[in-house]
Amino acid sequence: MAVHVAVADIAETEELAAVAARTFPLACPPSSTPENVAAFIETNLSPARFADYLADPDRVILTAHDNGRIVGYAMLIRGIIHDADVQRAVRVRPTVELSKMYVLPGSHGAGVSAALMESALTHANDMAAKSVWLGVNQQNRRAQRFYAKHGFTISGTKTFRVGEHVENDYVMVRGL
């Protein structure tokens, strides 16, 4: 697989939303109902929301392409952390949140996630961050192992709303 990672373009909003709708449920724990997952996708991962994200100067969306199609994406957010739990967990600032990082199932194990992570860390550094943080569901052991392999450590916990349900996440941080 020849993976190419680039900053997303506004013309990719439909494809980004489609990839997001396919990949977000994979990271949800079994307790997440289809209704709550669908509500989250509708509210946060629609083409209109991706257009908003792309217009935000404090966000960078990276897309991983293989043979001209998006097989994964990541979103970085620069700015002040408003969540008190995250503020306690992230001590090195300025920081950037790795808000989303998902890869289509057919591309798992092909180096797409590693390429996205490498590009995300480079962009975070270019954004003058001293650290990068993320939230990962406490039941998502596979993702936790991946992030640990890339230098992230658990430094706290936070909650994350999926529809009407509140999930428990670890806050993982990596210095740059």
Domain map (residue ranges) of the chain: 3-175
CA distance 154 to 72: 24
Q: Which runs of consecutive H residues, i.e. helices, occur in the chain? A: 13-23, 34-44, 47-55, 84-89, 112-126, 141-149
**Mean pLDDT over each residue of the chain, to the nearest integer:** 93
Is pLDDT of 1 > 70?
no
Q: What are phi and psi of 154, to 5 degrees?
A: -70, 130
Query: Tokens standing for 40?
Result: 């989250």
Mean pLDDT value of segment 127-140: 95
Is pLDDT of 165 > 80?
no
Predicted model pTM? 0.93
Q: Residue 19: exposed, middle, or buried by beta-carbon count in 10 A (0-12, 13-18, 19+)?
A: buried
**Alpha-carbon separation of residue 5 from 25, 71, 99, 120, 164 (angstroms):** 23, 10, 17, 10, 34
Instruction: Identify which of 137, 171, 165 has the alpha carbon closest to the alpha carbon of residue 37.
Output: 165
Banded model confidence at residue 48, pLDDT cuts 50, 70, 90: very high
CATH of domain 3-175: 3.40.630.30
- Which pLDDT score, from 0 to 100, does residue 162 have? 78
Banded model confidence at residue 166, pLDDT cuts 50, 70, 90: confident
